[in-house]
Structure formats: C-alpha cells, structure tokens
Amino acid sequence: MDRGPAVHLFARKGSPLIAQLSLSLRGFVQVRWSERVPAVDRLETGDIFVVDLAELPPHLKPDDVAPLLDHGGLWLVPGGEAVHPYWLELASRSGTRVVPCDAEARSRGVPHLVDALQDALGRQSGRQLSRLVLDQEPVFRPVEPLVELICQHPWRIRRPRDLALHTGMGIGPLKRQLAELGFHRVEHFIVCVRMVAFEQLMAHERLPIAMARWRVGIGDTTNARRQLRRAKKSSKDAFLKLRSLVA
C-alpha cells in the first residue's frame, strides 16, 4: 500500500498548529512541518498543504505555494483577520480552501480545522483501505459502496442506521442486500468489514496495533471481539465465504 496522503504544514517555528495537528492527527495521517516548500519527489497526489497565515514562515510567498495545487489541496489558515490581500488571488483558485482559526480556536486546539482535515483525509485513505479489503475479500464486491463508506467514516458509522443514513437506503433494503451475502444482521457486516480492514492495515502498513484499531473505528477491543463472535455464529454462511477471520 502506498504511504497514503500526508498533511504538510507550513508555519513559523513556534506556531501552535504544529503541536495541535501533530497530536490530533496522530495515527491517522503523517503531519510534516516545514518552513519551506518540499521537493516535488517528496509529495504524493492527494496530500494536503496547510499554510498558517497567522504564523507565516519568513520569505514564504504565494508563488512558492501555488505549484502545490498540482499535487493536492491547499488550505490557507488565517487568524482572526481577513486573508491578507497578498494571498487573495491564491485563495480564490480552485483547490484552495480558507479555514480561519482565530486566537480562541487556537487556544482550544483548532477543533474545526482538525475535524475538516480528518473528514477530507478519511475519504482519501478510506478509499485506499477499501480497495485492500475488496482485494482480500472479493465476496464484498457486490456491496463495494458500503465497504468504502465504512472505511471512509469509521467513527461515524457505528450502527446499522448510520450505514443506512450514509447510503440513503432504508434499513429494510439494506438488510435484504446484505442478507444475499449471508449476513443476517447489518451490524455483523459492519464488524466484519472493520476487522478485515484492521488485518489489512496491520499487514500492509505495519501500524502499531492501537493506531490501526483507531483507523478502522475500533474503540473497545473487548466489545469488537464479542461482536465478531456473535457475527460468526449468527451469520456463519457469510463467514464461510471469507478468506479472513477464519480463526
């Protein structure tokens, strides 16, 4: 698996965003801080580039940053004031996003910026992870969109109604679709996808166990194991078709 998208933070040394983003996104994505734009060969398509306009690195100019739009999204983070006119033209370009973070937001750990980054990165890394899950378990291909949603939104999709809401389907049609694969309950399918995703993360990214669990939405390990045992017992027809989770 590719290393996945990264967040590149351009800020002056001492910017609170350095510690805040590194801590809040730990285990989710790599945060790289610099005062200079990195070489192109260090970038991956899908990276996000965050420029702290309130703590701008010395000599960093819009012309230095503009080429990054060819590689990913550009996020400009002003303080409480409006975007400086010097940066307005770049702020208006397609692919650029402006996320103001005033002093109060910075004192609270910029939660809205963290949430927005997690949402954007979850969609990207979730697609990559869902491909690994589908490669490992081709039996899931008829419900590929459901697998992708669970991988993209592991902490939003906790219950059957969450999955139904994200798909726009009623719970009845969702149950019938999964029953065709042998899953007698929607939650059995959700925990199954989660555990296969966990195995694939461990195999391909070699993450610490705690980080891999967090990435797939496993908060309570004991509860996840209990759910998996129930799923194996009640939806055994589905598990007979799987390559994973056989132990």
Domain count, the chain: 2
pLDDT tens per residue, range 1-22: 445 678 999 999 999 999 999 9
- Residue 247 reports pLDDT greater than 90: no
Q: Does residue 44 share a domain with residue 74?
A: yes
What average pLDDT score do residues 89-104 get? 94
Residue 40: what pLDDT?
80
Q: What CATH number has the domain bearing residue 110?
A: 3.40.50.2300
Same domain (yes/no): 101, 154: no
Residue 172 pLDDT? 95
Average pLDDT, stretch 157-161?
Answer: 92
Q: Considering 120, 155, 186, which residue would you say is the last residue of a domain?
A: 120
Q: How far apart are the first and last CA of the chain?
A: 25
Model confidence pLDDT, tens digit, residues 30-87: 899 999 998 887 787 778 999 999 999 989 999 999 999 998 899 999 998 889 899 9
Q: Is residue 64 part of a domain?
A: yes
154 and 211 co-located in one domain: yes
pTM attached to this predicted model: 0.61
User: Domain check: are 11 and 110 in the same one?
Assistant: yes
Residue numbers of the domain that contains 68:
6-120
Do 110 and 19 belong together in one domain? yes
Cβ–Cβ < 8 Å for 11, 17 = yes
Predicted local confidence at residue 47, as pLDDT = 86
Sheet holding 96-98, edge to edge: 30-34, 6-10, 47-52, 72-77, 96-98
What is the reported pLDDT for 27?
65
* pLDDT tens sequence across 181-238: 999 999 999 999 999 999 998 888 776 687 788 888 888 888 888 999 999 999 988 9
Looking at the fold, whether 84 and 155 belong to one and the same domain comes out as no
- Is 141 in the same domain as 116? no
Do residues 100 and 39 share a domain? yes
Residue where one domain finishes, among candidates 120, 154, 175: 120
| The pLDDT of residue 101 is above 60 | yes
Question: What pLDDT does residue 1 have?
Answer: 41
Q: What is the pLDDT of residue 2?
A: 46
Same domain, 115 and 154: no
User: What does the pLDDT look like over 118-142, one tens digit per residue?
Assistant: 777 766 678 888 999 999 999 999 9
Q: CA separation (Å) from 180 to 76, 140, 142, 177, 197?
A: 47, 11, 10, 6, 21
